[in-house]
Amino acid sequence: MSSSESLPRRQLLGAVAAAATAGAALPARAAAKPAPAPDDGPPHKVVYQINRHEPEYQQAILNSIGAMLKKYVDDVTIVVVVWGPGIHLLAKKPKRPVPKELQLRARSMSEAYGIEFIACGNTMHTIGWDKEDMLDFARVEEVGAAAIMELQEKGYAYIAW
């Protein structure tokens, strides 16, 4: 590392040290931050990915969601992010065949258990679809992969296969 590259780092470290010293001089009650409010949601959070169109694959994921619901009942929050060829599961008029039974099961999971289904806007744009082309229970996010990343940052376990 050259001396010109290390100068900004040294300045940053000096600023951090100065800020820490200034914070230490404050009275304890002024420096203390309130504890974050506890999350009132269920203790278990999981996000599934559906990115293939084969009915057996989608059925397996819906079966897994059903097993999670059976095990955790009201103690789990489940989100399903759908992109790529899997997007047809959430389409009103899929361009690839999707058994109606799978769409009805996804709808039932959404309505009866609060499972959130997110459609990837990027995939939809590629196909030429809008929000109106999707089933009414589907929420559209601009980038499905970003939705998964953000959910993981919020503590969701990521399930993909």
Per-residue pLDDT tens for 82-135? Answer: 999 999 999 999 999 999 999 999 999 999 999 999 999 999 999 999 999 999
Whether residue 147 has pLDDT greater than 80? yes
Residues 29-88 pLDDT 10s: 444 444 444 556 789 999 999 999 999 999 999 999 999 999 999 899 999 999 999 999
Per DSSP, the three-state class of 140 is: strand
Window from 21-25, 91-95, 131-135, 152-156 with minimum mean pLDDT: 21-25
At residue 133, the pLDDT reads 97
Tokens of 58: 């989608």
Distance in angstroms (rounded) separating the CA atoms of residues 65 and 54: 17
Q: Crossing angle of helices 55-72/100-113, nearest 10°?
A: 20
Domain 44-159 classified CATH 3.40.50.1100?
A: no
pTM: 0.75
